[in-house]
Structure 1
Amino acid sequence: MSEDGGLRARKKARTRQTLSDTAIAMFLADGFDAVSVSDIAAAAEVSKPTLFRYFASKEDLLLHRIADHRGEAARTVRDRRPGETPLDALHRSLVEKLDRRDPVSGLCDHPQVLAYHRLVFTTPSIASRVIEYGAAETEALAEALAEAVRTGLAARLTAAQVIAVQQELARDTWSELAAGRSADEVHPEAVHAADTAYALLKNGAAGHGY
């Protein structure tokens, strides 16, 4: 890429980040439904057409914050340690996120993170977009698993279960924090939940009485 091309790419990335940060600040202050795209464009000092060149919807402005995590499960599988199974790598990665209170795990009690998760988990219009994100993550993870185990159907089924588990665990963990508990207090329970979830994924439900 030329120097001019790199400069343009960096400028576009900064603009995207500014638009998303402006929108999220307004959503947190006034509520998702109370803020219009016109409001966001005006606050960011851009036109609505310019905003829509960067984000197709208001929901995308909110979810841009998790864009860095797209494809993360697939990367975890591809970058796993020698001798480590894909599920063991995914399990380890989740526990590491819990240990460092990574917001994507749901176990982060910083007030702004809690407020952001509240928007994501409780705003009905976000639900369909989160499902779309989950579908894309499932597809990417299925490809990585298929590369690892050389079987398409099992890879797709496992990927769907892993992504569903990660989303459900994050939602449950956030719910405990939203109820007023601290991340340190919830951490042992969140790790136990992760252990239980991956035991189910590895060994099936029969061993748990189902």
Structure 2
Amino acid sequence: MIDQAITSAPVIAPYRVITGASNRLLAVERLAIMGLMFLLTGLILVNVVTRYTGFPIYWIDESAVYSVVWLTFIGASAMTRLRLDFSVTMLTERLPPGPMKIAKVISTGAVVAFGLALAAMCWLWMDPVGIARAGFDAREFAGDSFNFLYTERTQTLNWPTWVLYLILPIFAVSMTIHGAANILEDLELVPKAALPGFRLSDIDAVN
């Protein structure tokens, strides 16, 4: 009876893990996008009111800029999973179903390759191993490697710039996961997932 129970238990294939991670990540990105849009709107309104009353807050402009940066990268990652990224279909729409499927897989594979390359670049740039070897001493790390990432601070917020630059490796990893999930769907290894909360994903003429 135990052997029968083990045999009948569902097997979790690796591609299910990838698509599940992508869908959960997309749900987090949806909340992040909503929060950043709310934050950006609030910052702009406060900036307008304070400037109109003659008491401008000097750090709001920089806050709004970094909010837009994070919103852009997180939105771009979500658009990758939703297949709302830009695509040129002048050639692929004239191909038979077989070559069209291959072209779509190649296109999505290029997205994954770009995400992996960006992740590798961020690893070399941020050098977490190097900063750890320096005992997380930014000045010592900068003196040894001439990498001043961890010593720089923003102009008005006076925040460490590396904290704000974290969006780059986050974007690289999330885009890679979404691209891998899209490839699995293109290869028909998994059914196309329904993505609640994103009705725009059913728009025609997108990638």
Where on the TM-score scale, by shorter chain, does this alignment land: which range? under 0.3
- Determine which structure has more spread, i.e. the larger CA radius of gyration: 2
Decide which structure has greater helix share.
1
Q: Which has the higher contact order (CA 8 A, sep 6+)?
A: 2
What TM-score results when the alignment is normalised by the length of structure 1?
0.27
